[in-house]
Amino acid sequence: MTPLERALRDRIRTEGAITVEAYMEACNAYYYAARDPFGSAGDFTTAPEISQMFAEMIGAALADCWQRAGRPKNLLYVELGPGRGTLTKDALRVLRQTGLDPQIHFVESSPILRDAQCELLESEDIDWHESLVTLPPGPPLLLVANEFFDALPVRQFVGGIERRVVVAGGGLAFDRDGDIVEDSPSRDACASEIGAQLDVRGGVALIIDYGHAKSASGDTLQSVRKHELSPPLANPGEQDLTAHVDFEALAKSASVGSVRATKLVSQGKWLKRLGIEARAEALANANPNKSDEVYLALARLTDAKQMGELFKVIAIRSPDWPAPAGFE
Ligand code: SAH
């Protein structure tokens, strides 16, 4: 039994059954606080860890948007859940090539990942936050969140009754099964905060995650351990727990004042529209011995059977900022 499972069983014995939302929140807080989960030795690999090309496209999209917004001088580059800091590192390189030099602000709850970010970005001046509300007031935002929203907890309902986790048959179990409907107050609150910030100070946010374009019913809670799916109630705190992002709900919550979301585009289509294939060719030509690696990474990021279709991209922007490229 994992240490967190022991703690959860004690909690359930004293408090009674806990909601799926409370379970997911406790598991992920424990999970991320204690480890760097990325890469082949870890539990899962994210797009920026597959290839620098992913973050370079994000950097290029943000830089182009900033140029078309009239190159405002002061800007905050904000990332939600920056992981190892790899996306920031590769995106900043592109941003700086165009003359943009933003202040860097991270929203990150994990002490271990804050240390990893500090180490990878040692020459950078970074401010860390628990949420967006402590950002310094004023400058517009360039905000990025890759695979952040999927880690925020969801509620599940069966026939209108909230689903809970109980202790039964010697382990943890769900108190009911059936047709499941999910929602997520934490995601809604985070998307509304992004919208509220953009409404006051202007700017643009790029949100990339796996999920669906329209709100729909279904159980999407899933867990991954050592690159394999694992039952969500197994090994609490020792495996990543996620649920698909409902982009319709996210766009609605982010539409604060006159802030609006763009259309949702699949990751594969978006990266191709931004020119990832030309970038792959240039990288492969410059490093012929790495050519196979570059094209494999391109396929992983863009092929419909790999990350290309399941992962999606949406932008949120204030009315005085143009929509980033790739959403037309
Ligand atoms: N964006 C990174 C990492 C994705 S994993 C990448 O693409 O590689 C999820 C990230 O969100 C981790 O950095 C994790 O520590 C952070 N995180 C998860 N829940 C959080 C929360 N409630 N508040 C702040 N950060 C959180």
Residue 328, pLDDT score: 86
Angle at 113 between CA 130 and CA 307, to 5 degrees: 100
Would you tell me how many other CB atoms lie within 10 Å of the CB of residue 207? 27
The closest-lying atom of ligand 1 relative to the alpha carbon of residue 186 is 22
CA distance 317 to 50: 28
CA of 35 to the centre of ligand 1 (A): 12
Residue 170 has pLDDT above 90, yes or no: no
CA of 102 to the centre of ligand 1 (A): 21
Residue 241, pLDDT score: 96
CB 240 near ligand 1, within 6 Å: no
Q: How large a percentage of the chain has pLDDT more than 90?
A: 99
Query: Per-residue pLDDT tens for 179-216?
Result: 999 999 999 999 999 999 999 999 999 999 999 999 99
CA distance 129 to 152: 16
Q: What is the mean pLDDT of the chain?
A: 97
The closest-lying atom of ligand 1 relative to the alpha carbon of residue 29 is 19
CB 153 near ligand 1, within 6 Å: no
Nearest to 147 by CA among 44, 216, 235: 44
CA distance 140 to 322: 13
Q: Whose CA is nearest to atom 2 of ligand 1?
A: 83
Residue 34, pLDDT score: 86
CA distance 306 to 26: 30
Q: Whose CA is nearest to atom 23 of ligand 1?
A: 109
Distances (CA, A) of 87 to 83, 108, 117: 8, 14, 10
pLDDT class for 232, splitting at 50, 70, 90?
A: very high
Q: How large a percentage of the chain has pLDDT more than 70?
A: 100
CA 150 to chain centre: 6
CB 48 near ligand 1, within 6 Å: yes
Query: Per-residue pLDDT tens for 108-159?
Result: 999 999 999 999 999 999 999 999 999 999 999 999 999 999 999 999 999 9
| β-pair partners for 77 | 104, 142
Q: If you average pLDDT over residues 77-103, what whole number do you get?
A: 97
Residue 214, pLDDT score: 94
CA 319 to chain centre: 24
Residue 270, pLDDT score: 98
Residue 18 has pLDDT above 90, yes or no: yes
Residue 99 has pLDDT above 90, yes or no: yes
Query: Per-residue pLDDT tens for 75-84?
Result: 999 999 999 9
Q: If you average pLDDT over residues 294-314, what whole number do you get?
A: 98
Distances (CA, A) of 74 to 33, 104, 254: 32, 11, 23
Token output for 291: 């050519």
Residue 86, pLDDT score: 98
The closest-lying atom of ligand 1 relative to the alpha carbon of residue 33 is 15
